[in-house]
Structure 1
Amino acid sequence: MTYNITAPEQLNANINLPASKSISNRALVIYALSGGEILPDNLSDCDDTEVIIEALKYMPETIDIKAAGTAMRFMTAFLAVTPGTHVITGTERMRNRPIHILVDALRRLGADIEYTEKDGFPPLRITGKELEGGRLDIQGNVSSQFISALLMIAPKLKNGLKLKLDGDIISRPYVDLTLCTMRDFGVDAEWTDTDIIEVKPKPYTPIKYYIESDWSAASYWYEMVALSKDPEAEVELNGLTDGSLQGDSVVKYLFNMLGIKTIFGNKQRGVPTTVRLKKIGIRSARLDYDFKNQPDLAQTFVVTCAMMNMPFHFTGLASLHIKETDRIAALKTEMKKLGYIIDDGDGTELSWNGERCEPDADIAIDTYEDHRMALAFAPAAMTLGSIKINNPQVVTKSYPNFWDDLRKAGFIISE
């Protein structure tokens, strides 16, 4: 399937954003570990969250988490401390995404985990049992989801967990989000040094829990306002909170440099409100930023800056190689179709100095089974007039109503 997306001349919309996938997935696992009977409220309806809900509800012998990387990491740790034997597997791409760092760490804590096919990769056969816990060292530059998976089960460990993160720590905001969610459920989990986290052995307390809207999803609406030719373009986004611990909430600062003002209806911390986006007419000449703490925003800003003819240099992108696709390679390929020569430096960065090439005659953006490719490239229609997106259904992984919301905002979408 291919969508042809035609942008409206004026942009004025009020959008109910999806709930945060990051918070939903953490809250669900913690809810299950707490023995709670009331599901968190306003859970994300995306694919990644749905597979966790299904797995926790039915706990089948074989758990297929499909393409959900977060679910694979979080459920692997959860199953290691949950009685019973289960096999956890996923799509072909998931079976080729490395998980040995997490498995090795869990085994050092005493977990019973076997690889059923290829060493270092899913599927995994896991027999859950009580784990001793104690001191554990792990590299800080691994996926934050490995770290978060270990932290969330830590209160269940006999001796708790003292986790030391060696070297450079990437995606720290996601670790902080995990710790905050854990504390909301009544456990003691704190940074005790710049590289050490301690979690005491203490049961989670079941509570009613509300999930705020997703700042990652908001980034695509910021992109639309930034790229709109309408100087009066304005979008209202519902359910976001000021002072959010979501790492991707940094979009409000970054897009300010791209000429977009963020206006909160209510600035009370933790209270969901409506956020208004509007143009301010002043922007930076170029954008340089280290995305090591917010790698999921890279696609948004590569497309936005190029479409705005703004040179950029983005670093801290090593983790993009092992996402739903190799996002660095995918971005270079698809941006070249649009006539932009993107450089990847040493493979951990992306930059553009203004170099152009002849764009393809009939451009259709490939999505590589990666939701963020579709989500980040669709707003380019604001600059190009229209754009074609192949396999647009991939957005269900994080933002199932994205195309309906675009229609609501005046976009014309045809197959």
Structure 2
Amino acid sequence: MRLSVQPATRLTGHATIPSSKPETQRAILTATLARGRSIVHNDLRCTETTAMKNACRGVGASIDEQDGRLEIQGVGRDLRTEQRIIDAMGSGLVFRVFAALSCFATSPAIITGDKILRGRVMAPLFDALRSLGARIHCIGDEGHAPVVNWGGGLSGGRCVVPGNVSSQFITALMFSAPLADSPTTIAIEGEVLSISYIRQTVEAMRRAGIRVEHAEDFSGVTVHPGEYQPIEYRAGGDFTSSSYLIAAAAIFPGTTVLSNINSRSLQGERAIVDVVRALGIEVSFDDRNDTLTLVNQRGELSGDYEFDASDFPNIVPTLAAIGAYVKGRFRVVGGSITRLHKSPRIKAMVSELGKMGVNIKPLFRDGVYDGFEIHGDGQFNGGVSLSSWGDHRIFMSLFVASLRCRTPNLLDGYQDVHCSFPDFFEQFKRLGVAFDEVSVGETPAPVATLRSA
């Protein structure tokens, strides 16, 4: 089955943004590492937060899922791995964090994940952990999941990781460091990308009473031994998820109101608001009521723009969808880290938007995909089949880009929205967007009634 995305002419209405995935995952993890009862309000429930909850339950945490909140009975330092296997599914953060935390488990554990995760880069984390005393071995290909961690703890000290591969390496080392015998210093070499995610980790740990110090430029982080304290935390809205609705509001005339979103956020992807404001969209936050209003009076975008996405890489595919409809020059740089995400995201968007007829070319830095340049248009013919490359963020970005085509596009991978935005289709439906499932080989037809995929 594929999804037929029907052309739209105007977007207007009220939609709700899902809660933040990184904030929810960090809150669940922090609560697990504290001994006692914690409460996480407004949590996101999706495939990847489920993977985090299951992994935390796998080391002994009790997690009660109530309406609008989680009650978590943490285990402190008593990490029990009687089940022997922790399955991170497709979550890189879950795998990386538990590859580190299982150093302190009461018995050996295998940490694994799905096919895509098993192909992702993990070697720098394993090397850093071994330098701190970890006994961790790859079961299959060296430098990749799955691994077996034999336990025995970490001594602390100094380790080194690159700053341009994954901020999750740093987050994993940081979360495990308070359990070590002595302070742990993480030296981060080279350019440090996705700093906003490291800031979120620092904030989560400090709220739980852990002493964390870092250089202003995050070239180094030191975490001191300590005991995690129970927390009461409220997750905010997810700016990466909001980017798809914000992007749609930017390419169509109308007024869109989004709920569960607040300007006070450490998320780097909050930059999507600054991007569309630069494009001429009227943007106003109401933080008291957690709403964002976007007014697009023109309906057409034009001008020359350049954005550095090094601190908000998750919206690089969304920016490509917007850029397709900017008459002028639309450049995005600083996205090299996205080649190591669920798919090589710049390459994927260049390929799929090219099928639509978009004038897009990749930009390279040091021989790797770093961004793209688009000379956009107001509309494209459509009627093409597009691939998500097995990546939920590619699918959602292509969904938005397809809305302004003259005829429906067919997209695969629509089930993957459950990774981060389970009610993606329902929220777009509320704005008047039409779509329908079609069988492979079936000719798309106009949709008389809306239904979620």
Q: Sort the TM-score into its range (normalised by shorter chain).
A: over 0.9
Q: Call closer, same or farther: CA 1:310–1:370 in 2, change over 3 Å.
A: farther
SS in 2 for 1:411: coil
CA–CA distance in structure 2, aligned partners of residues 214 and 45 of structure 1: 12
Post-superposition offset of 1:324: 0.7
Alignment of 1:278-317 (within 5 A): 278-279=295-296, 281=298, 285-317=303-335
Q: Aligned AA for 2:147?
A: L
Post-superposition offset of 1:167: 1.7
Equivalent residue for 2:348?
A: 330
Equivalent residue for 1:222?
A: 246
Equivalent residue for 2:24?
A: 24
CA–CA distance in structure 1, aligned partners of residues 175 and 358 of structure 2: 42
Q: Aligned AA for 2:399?
A: A
The answer to whether the 8 A contact 2:301-2:325 is kept is no
RMSD: 2.2
Are residue 61 (structure 1) and residue 61 (structure 2) matched? no
**How high is the TM-score relative to the length of structure 1?**
0.92
Post-superposition offset of 1:300: 0.5
The answer to whether the 8 A contact 1:222-1:260 is kept is no
Equivalent residue for 1:276?
A: 293
CA–CA distance in structure 1, aligned partners of residues 215 and 414 of structure 2: 45
1:238-277 Cα deviation digits (max 9, x unpaired): 122222001111111111112222211126xxxx711111
Post-superposition offset of 1:8: 4.3
Q: Aligned AA for 1:202?
A: G
Q: Aligned AA for 1:190?
A: E
Q: Aligned AA for 1:344?
A: P
More strand per residue: 1 or 2?
2
Are residue 105 (structure 1) and residue 128 (structure 2) matched? yes
SS in 2 for 1:256: helix
State the number of aligned residues.
Answer: 407
Post-superposition offset of 1:58: 3.4
Equivalent residue for 1:380?
A: 401
CA–CA distance in structure 2, aligned partners of residues 379 and 4 of structure 1: 12
CA–CA distance in structure 1, aligned partners of residues 116 and 397 of structure 2: 21
CA–CA distance in structure 1, aligned partners of residues 234 and 268 of structure 2: 18
Q: Aligned AA for 1:138?
A: V
CA–CA distance in structure 1, aligned partners of residues 95 and 140 of structure 2: 16
Alignment equivalent of 2:339, drawn from 315, 321, 324: 321
Are residue 400 (structure 1) and residue 422 (structure 2) matched? yes
1:157-210 Cα deviation digits (max 9, x unpaired): 111222222221111111111101111111111224532222221111111111
CA–CA distance in structure 2, aligned partners of residues 197 and 76 of structure 1: 19
SS in 2 for 1:29: helix
Q: Call closer, same or farther: CA 1:48–1:274 in 2, change over 3 Å.
A: same
**Percent identical:** 26
**How high is the TM-score relative to the length of structure 2?**
0.85
SS in 2 for 1:213: coil
Are residue 197 (structure 1) and residue 221 (structure 2) matched? yes
Q: Aligned AA for 1:203?
A: E
Post-superposition offset of 1:54: 1.2
Are residue 254 (structure 1) and residue 272 (structure 2) matched? no
SS in 1 for 2:121: coil
Q: Aligned AA for 2:225?
A: P
Equivalent residue for 2:64?
A: none
Alignment of 1:81-92 (within 5 A): 81-92=104-115
CA–CA distance in structure 2, aligned partners of residues 93 and 62 of structure 1: 18
Q: Call closer, same or farther: CA 1:193–1:10 in 2, change over 3 Å.
A: closer
Alignment of 1:67-86 (within 5 A): 67-86=90-109
Equivalent residue for 1:45?
A: 45
Q: Aligned AA for 1:13?
A: G
Post-superposition offset of 1:111: 1.2
Equivalent residue for 1:343?
A: 361
Alignment equivalent of 1:123, drawn from 146, 149, 152: 146
The answer to whether the 8 A contact 1:227-1:382 is kept is no
The answer to whether the 8 A contact 1:82-1:128 is kept is yes
Post-superposition offset of 1:83: 2.3
Equivalent residue for 2:447?
A: none
Q: Call closer, same or farther: CA 1:360–1:406 in 2, change over 3 Å.
A: closer
Q: Aligned AA for 1:135?
A: R
SS in 2 for 1:240: coil
Are residue 140 (structure 1) and residue 158 (structure 2) matched? no
Equivalent residue for 1:15?
A: 15
The answer to whether the 8 A contact 1:332-1:341 is kept is no
Alignment equivalent of 1:266, drawn from 278, 284, 287: 287
Q: Call closer, same or farther: CA 1:411–1:198 in 2, change over 3 Å.
A: same
Alignment equivalent of 1:413, drawn from 414, 435, 442: 435
CA–CA distance in structure 2, aligned partners of residues 306 and 377 of structure 1: 11
Post-superposition offset of 1:283: 6.0
SS in 2 for 1:311: strand
The answer to whether the 8 A contact 1:256-1:283 is kept is no
Q: Aligned AA for 2:150?
A: T
Greater displacement, 375-384 / 328-337: 375-384
Are residue 184 (structure 1) and residue 202 (structure 2) matched? no
CA–CA distance in structure 2, aligned partners of residues 206 and 371 of structure 1: 33
CA–CA distance in structure 1, aligned partners of residues 166 and 44 of structure 2: 22
CA–CA distance in structure 1, aligned partners of residues 359 and 9 of structure 2: 28
Q: Call closer, same or farther: CA 1:235–1:84 in 2, change over 3 Å.
A: farther
Q: Call closer, same or farther: CA 1:310–1:399 in 2, change over 3 Å.
A: farther
Q: Aligned AA for 1:29?
A: L
SS in 2 for 1:292: coil
